[in-house]
Structure formats: C-alpha cells, structure tokens
C-alpha cells in the first residue's frame, strides 16, 4: 500500500512481511525498538520481547498473525504486528517508527492498515498495552477508536499495572 502526502513529504509503502528477508527486517526493527525505546523500562515494557525475538517470527505469521513493515524509498523505518489471543481476539504489538520518520503520519497509516487486515482476518476485538510514557501513541489509539480497559492477560504484574495502560477496540 503506497501513501503519498500532499504536503510534499516523501511517500512510504506499507507491506505485510512475506519472506525471510522481510521477517529479518522486522526483527531488526524490534531489536532497535527494544534497545532505544525500552532500555530504561525493560523490566516492565519489554516483557516477553526477548523470547519473541528468539522465536521470531513466532505468532506474527498468517493465518492469524501479521507483521507490517513500512519503507520510505526502500528504507525500513517502522513496523507494527498483530498476534492472536483467541480465534476472534487479537493483540496489537510492537508499534515502532524510527525517530527520523516520526510526525509524518506513518504510525496512523500502519494502524489503519492493521485494523483493516484484522477485520479481514476475522478478528472481532483487539487489545493492546503501552507504557505510560508513550502518551502520543495513546492519543493515536484513542483516535483509532480504542478505549481504556482493565488488563486483559493473567500475567500482568502489579508493577506493570502501575506503568502501563491497557486498551481494547471492538471491530
């Protein structure tokens, strides 16, 4: 999917990861996300990410998972993933846009693409969680129709509850 901006910003492409090269790119973006964005909060915000990276692509593959990659002039600059919780419930994870590409509408385009794909995949509800410090992302999630909710997983610790928000969207 190609997105061109009317204000002369570069266009970018969003595609579903489809081959080993795409998955390697996605994994590299998630490692960067972990190292740059979660370094100070890793005990809370990075829970499970190391295990995901060891078993990559894991649950991010069809038919119920998806990994979206965004490229600007063939340069990978962001990702977003969806993994199954149950047959009709999914979890939105690993939203990341490199710093130099932020403010260009990429995160919103990624989320719009993911929501469309989730509907096509038969999902009826989506969950997500996010560290409190990502308030800009929270505003985007609200704009996309997500609402705050209670923690949706049994493995949420008290520390996580204090440092994170939880949201859901009925599709």
The pLDDT assigned to 34 comes to 85
The pLDDT assigned to 132 comes to 87
pLDDT level of residue 39 (50, 70, 90 thresholds): low
- Give me 127's structure tokens: 């969950």
Report the percentage of the chain scoring pLDDT > 90: 66
Average pLDDT, the chain: 88
Q: Which residue has the higher pLDDT, 155 or 71?
A: 71
Given phi > 0 = left and psi -120 to 50 = alpha, else beta, which region is 141? alpha
Neighbour-count burial of 67, counting CB atoms closer than 10 A to its CB (0-12 exposed, 13-18 middle, 19+ buried) = buried
Instruction: Enumerate domains of the chain plus CATH numbers.
Output: 2-170 (3.40.630.30)
The pLDDT assigned to 54 comes to 87
The pLDDT assigned to 47 comes to 61
Q: Give pTM, 2 decimals.
A: 0.88
> What Cα–Cα distance (Å) separates residue 47 from each residue in 38, 90, 114?
10, 18, 22
The pLDDT assigned to 158 comes to 81
| Closest of 140, 127, 131, 117 to residue 67, by C-alpha | 117
Burial pattern 73-104, b for ≥16 Cβ within 10 A else e, equals eeebbbbbbbbebeeeebbbbbbbbbeebeeb
pLDDT in tens, 124-157: 999 999 988 888 899 999 999 999 999 888 777 7
* pLDDT beyond 70 at 45: no
Q: Which residue has the higher pLDDT, 51 or 88?
A: 88
Q: Which residue has the higher pLDDT, 37 or 58?
A: 58
Cis peptide leading into residue 57 (ω within 30°)? yes
pLDDT in tens, 7-36: 545 589 999 999 999 999 999 999 998 888
């Amino acid at each position: 999917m190609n997105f061109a901006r009317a204000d002369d910003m570069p266009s970018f492409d969003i595609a579903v990861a489809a081959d080993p090269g795409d998955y390697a790119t996605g994994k590299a973006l998630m490692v960067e996300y972990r190292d740059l964005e979660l370094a100070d909060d890793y005990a809370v915000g990075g829970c499970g990410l190391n295990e995901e990276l060891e078993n990559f692509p894991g649950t991010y593959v069809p038919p119920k998972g998806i990994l979206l990659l965004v490229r600007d002039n063939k340069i990978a600059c962001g990702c977003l993933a969806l993994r199954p919780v149950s047959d009709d419930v999914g979890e939105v994870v690993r939203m990341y846009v490199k710093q130099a590409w932020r403010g260009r509408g990429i995160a919103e385009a990624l989320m719009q693409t993911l929501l469309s794909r989730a509907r096509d995949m038969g999902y009826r509800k989506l969950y997500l969680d996010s560290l409190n410090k990502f308030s800009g992302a929270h505003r985007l999630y609200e704009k996309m129709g997500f609402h705050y909710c209670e923690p949706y997983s049994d493995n949420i610790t008290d520390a996580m509850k204090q440092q994170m928000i939880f949201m859901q969207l009925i599709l």
